[in-house]
Amino acid sequence: MRLDDLAGDWVLDRRIMAPNGTARLRGRAAFTAEGDGWRYREIGQLTIVSGQTLAAERSYVYRAVPDGADVWFTDGRPFHSFRWADGRTEHACPPDTYRGAYAFGAWPRWRLVWWVRGPAKRLTIVSRYRRP
């Protein structure tokens, strides 16, 4: 696997599971070449637990490193890193901890799961991607 394998458009389906219920985001994501990396951008509709629907958008920068990628917020702060071999990652955001896993075993479908734990957070976020 290489970072440029992710290039192009994806259909995104995300579930955000919390003790009080599940929110769902449905939308699109894309990886486009930009400078020395790849811009990841997603746009979708987020339906929160109450049933209200909101527009949602986010963006990151992925940069290839040997055997994996580093992921950055668009303001230049580091977010997380992962290796293709196991997909595991972590992001510290005190007082919360985000542990994640990329899974590419069903390529060209893939997923990213985050387990978020902290004093006021207990979430499991599952993002599934497939080609349109």
Residuewise pLDDT in 10s, the chain (132 residues): 999 999 999 999 999 999 999 999 999 999 999 999 999 999 999 999 999 999 999 999 999 999 999 999 999 999 999 999 999 999 989 999 999 999 999 999 999 999 999 998 999 999 999 999
pLDDT at 121: 92
Beta bridge partners of 78: 72
What is d(CA 37, CA 59) in angstroms, rounded to the nearest whole number? 13
Q: Is residue 16 part of a domain?
A: yes
Q: What pTM did the predictor assign? A: 0.93
Per-residue model confidence (pLDDT) at position 65? 95
**How many structural domains does the chain have?**
1
For residue 19, tell me if it sits in a domain.
yes
pLDDT recorded at residue 26? 98
Q: Is residue 104 part of a domain?
A: no
Tokens of 65: 């490193």
Residue 77 lies in a domain: yes
The answer to the question of residue 15 being in a domain is yes
pLDDT of residue 37: 94
Q: What is the pLDDT of residues 100-112, one digit of tens each?
A: 999 999 999 999 9
Q: Are 21 and 123 in contact (CB under 8 A)?
A: no
Express the helix, strand and coil content of the chain in percent, nearest 5 each. 5, 70, 25
What is the spatial distance between Cα 110 and Cα 104, in angstroms, rounded to a whole number?
Answer: 5
Q: Is the peptide bond before 95 cis (omega within 30 degrees of 0)?
A: yes
- Give the residue among 87, 84, 73 at the shortest CA–CA distance from 41: 73
| Rounded CA separation 47/19 (Å) | 16
Q: Which domain holds residue 27?
A: 3-86
On whether residue 103 sits in a domain, the answer given is: no
Does residue 8 form part of some domain? Answer: yes
**Can you tell me the distance from the alpha carbon of 34 to that of 105, in angstroms, rounded to the nearest whole number?**
27
